Amino acid sequence: MLRDTDRDLQKGLIMRLPPVYPAPADAAQRRARPAVVCYPVETLPQPDMGWLERARETMGKIDEVIVPPREGRSFSVPEAHFFRITSVEGPQVGDLNLWNAEDLSERFFSGKTRALHATHVSTGMRLWSNLPHLRPLATITRDTLDWYGFDADGGGVHDVIGTRCDPYTHRLLSGGEYHHCCHSNLSRALSQATGMPVREAEMHVHDVLNVFMCTGFTRDTSQYFMKASPVRPGDFIEFFAEIGLLSALSACPGGDCSATHSSDAAACYPLKVEIFRPANEFVSGWKAPTRSAYSRAHGA
Ligand SMILES: [Zn+2]
């Protein structure tokens, strides 16, 4: 016999069924235990922001790539160079992938970056690589939206909680084929950069940094939400490449992600990527972080 709430769940009217089991007598005590930040901040290796500031004062632009709306483009950033993603023409969200330029199996690890830093990243935080490498791929050196912080809904900017819009989830929830989701845009961009067939390139596409995207979790049901990005033309986020990077950026079909994505409905704008080289002393003096020294013995 189905409860009314079971039917509501089936109809998609609610996400989570009311509990079947009664709360124990000490439920309030159990809930009141203090929250402890999972990873100690004190032992996380910190970037030398003073050195980075001195390096950026000497930098000059060496390349520029425009990512058209609802498209993806790749770009390379040599070790110890900077790259900057700028909003142009209108508010637009970007989905960023990063790989070690020498070894595509080392790539950005959104989940661990979130666990080490926060759900949303800003200046001084780093984008870490996947296991077994676990080293910083890039450090954020400027973020013109750093003033935003967290709003009354719990929303923040530059999210490492979302994944990337993709045609499989679109098919699951809405049916049909849509080829300009960020997942597909990134797959085509990597395919063009490497010469790999698009289905092979797709296997290297990973969870993104959602540049300029404003997201959070609803207070009552902890569901992932998005709201209109506060980005305006001229806003940018800038990174220092700790190692040589191959990157891809998609100008999300959701535009400012105020209402929809995975369709041609939203107003979309290009994104500008610029690459900067600091003075030779900073490039030649840079020591790239090494891969994790863990033995990989795993107790076997
Ligand atoms: Zn997208």
Q: 231-282 pLDDT, tens per residue? A: 999 999 999 999 999 999 999 999 999 888 777 888 999 999 999 999 999 9
Domain assignment present for residue 228? The answer is yes
Domain assignment present for residue 77? The answer is yes
d(CA 209, CA 181): 15
Running DSSP on this structure, what letter comes out for residue 128? E
d(CA 186, CA 255): 16
Q: What is the pLDDT of residue 263?
A: 74
Q: pTM of the full predicted structure? A: 0.94
- Indicate whether 4 pLDDT > 80: no
Instruction: Report the separation in Å between the CA atom of 231 and the middle of ligand 1, taken as the mean of its atom positions.
Output: 16
Domain assignment present for residue 40? The answer is no
d(CA 175, CA 151): 34
Q: What is the pLDDT of residue 2?
A: 64
User: Over the stretch 157-196, which tens digit does the pLDDT of each residue have?
Assistant: 999 999 999 999 999 999 999 999 999 999 999 999 999 9
- Indicate whether 14 pLDDT > 90: no
Instruction: Report the separation in Å between the CA atom of 32 and the middle of ligand 1, taken as the mean of its atom positions.
Output: 38
Dump strand ranges (E) for 123-192.
126-128, 136-143, 156-159
Q: What is the pLDDT of residue 40?
A: 86
Domain assignment present for residue 262? The answer is yes
- The sheet with strand 60-67 has its strands ordered as 60-67, 271-277, 82-87, 236-241, 136-143, 126-128
Domain assignment present for residue 251? The answer is yes
Instruction: Report the separation in Å between the CA atom of 47 and the middle of ligand 1, taken as the mean of its atom positions.
Output: 30
> Which residue carries 């105020």 as its tokens?
258
Which range of residues forms the domain containing residue 256?
Answer: 60-284
Domain assignment present for residue 140? The answer is yes
**How far, in Å, are 42, 178, 223, 283 from residue 117 at the CA level?**
12, 33, 21, 27
Name the domain count of the chain.
1
Domain assignment present for residue 39? The answer is no
Instruction: Report the separation in Å between the CA atom of 80 and the middle of ligand 1, taken as the mean of its atom positions.
Output: 29
Domain assignment present for residue 290? The answer is no
User: Over the stretch 46-76, which tens digit does the pLDDT of each residue have?
Assistant: 999 999 999 999 999 999 999 999 999 999 9
